[in-house]
Every structure is written in structure tokens, then in C-alpha cells.
Amino acid sequence: MESYLKRIQDRIQTTYNDGMGFTASDFTDLADYKTISKTLERLEDAGEIRRVLRGVYDCPHYSALLDEYEAPSPLKIAQAIARNYNWTIIPSGQISLNQLGLSTQVAAKWTFISDGPYKCYNIGNIEIQFKHSTNRNITGMSYKTAMVVQAMKELGKTYIQDNVISKLKNLLTPEEKERLYQETMKATVWMRPIIKVICEK
């Protein structure tokens, strides 16, 4: 048990110490599910990790400025839930705008498009919602490409001005731009010219 504890602790410290959420399924290569669950409960009791939802944990970060632990990241908790159930998810338009730095609005409801079932989870005042979509709407795109497409859909053609294009050009790496260009060949017609400008060297 002590050996399993140390190995799980090491993975948490090296992989999940930046606020990422995690579940027992993230450690199944180290031990059986029952042992992992008991170990995570033990670490929670010791104050080393925090239970955010049933079976979902994170490593709380203490803010000296606020003199309290930071709230869990809805995005990282959603990603942990998706990994646990083997769902593919992408953030909705509003969340994508926020994550890409195109909006400062903080959402009370974090909605994700998913190939899994419709589900809702609550973390304090924050609601995480998964909305089912067909596979063709969420597969074949990298995570960053999917966020850009969702953000563009949310804004609409009229509101994608030069400042938005400039921000995306500066945000995306050359590799991400190449993937964006290739993965959106069949995107909505009005998006393609804008994407070409974003991706041009």
C-alpha cells in the first residue's frame, strides 16, 4: 500500500500539480481501481488533495493575496470528467472566447459540446454542463482548432474584426495555424477567408 501511495503521490506532483483535475482512472496503470480509490481518499484526508466532486480531485493552490485556496478550474475539472468517461469535449462558444482571450466575461455556466450523454455538475456557484452532439461536429479537429471555430461561430461574421484576427494570429503557434488551416477545409463558407488570413505567414 505504501508503495502504491508513493507512486500515486509522485504522479500527482509531476502531472496534476497545476490545478488539473484527476480521477482514479488516471492511475489504473499503477494499481487496481479499489486501491487507487482508497489511496486518493487517504490523500484527501491528509489534506494533500481536494475532492471537487464525487470521485474527482485536484491539488488546491493557496493564494497568499486572497489568503485562501483558489477555486477549482471548471475547464480542468471538465477535462478530468471527460477523460474518466472517455468523452471527446470542446468548449462552447462563450467559453472558447474566454479561453482564447477574446472575452473577459466569466461564465457561471461552463458548457461543453460532448459525444457523451447530457450531464450537469455543480461546483459551488459554477455549473459544468455537457451537451451531446454527433461525432461529426467534434471529431477531426485538434482542441485549439475546435475552440477557434466555436469562438468564430459565437461571434458571427459581422463581429470578427481586425482586432480579433490579430489576437488569434498572435496567439496561435505556426503548428496550430497549420492544423487550423487543414482541419477547417470543410468549415462554414464564411469562415474560410477569415481563417486564411489568420493562418497566413
DSSP state letters, 52-85: EETTEEE-PPEETTTTEEPPPPHHHHHHHHHHHH
What's the residue count for the chain?
201
User: How many CB atoms are located within 10 Å of the residue 82 CB?
Assistant: 19
CATH 3.40.50.620 for the 2-69 domain, yes or no: no
Tell me: the pLDDT tens digits for 138-193?
Answer: 677 899 999 999 999 999 999 999 999 999 999 999 999 999 999 998 888 999 99
Strand order in the sheet with 119-123: 89-91, 109-114, 126-132, 119-123
The model's pLDDT over 112-137, given as tens digits with 9 standing for 90+, comes to 999 899 999 999 899 999 999 876 66
Contact yes or no for 133/113 (Cβ under 8 A): yes
| CA angle, residues 70, 93, 181, in degrees to nearest 5 | 110
User: Domain residues of the chain, as ranges?
Assistant: 2-69, 87-199
Please answer whether residues 155 and 163 qualify as being in contact, where contact means their C-beta atoms are separated by less than 8 angstroms: no
Question: How many percent of the chain have pLDDT more than 90?
Answer: 79
* CA 162 to each of CA 16, 75, 169, 189, 194: distance values in angstroms, whole numbers, following the listed order: 37, 28, 10, 19, 10
Q: What global pTM score does this model have?
A: 0.87
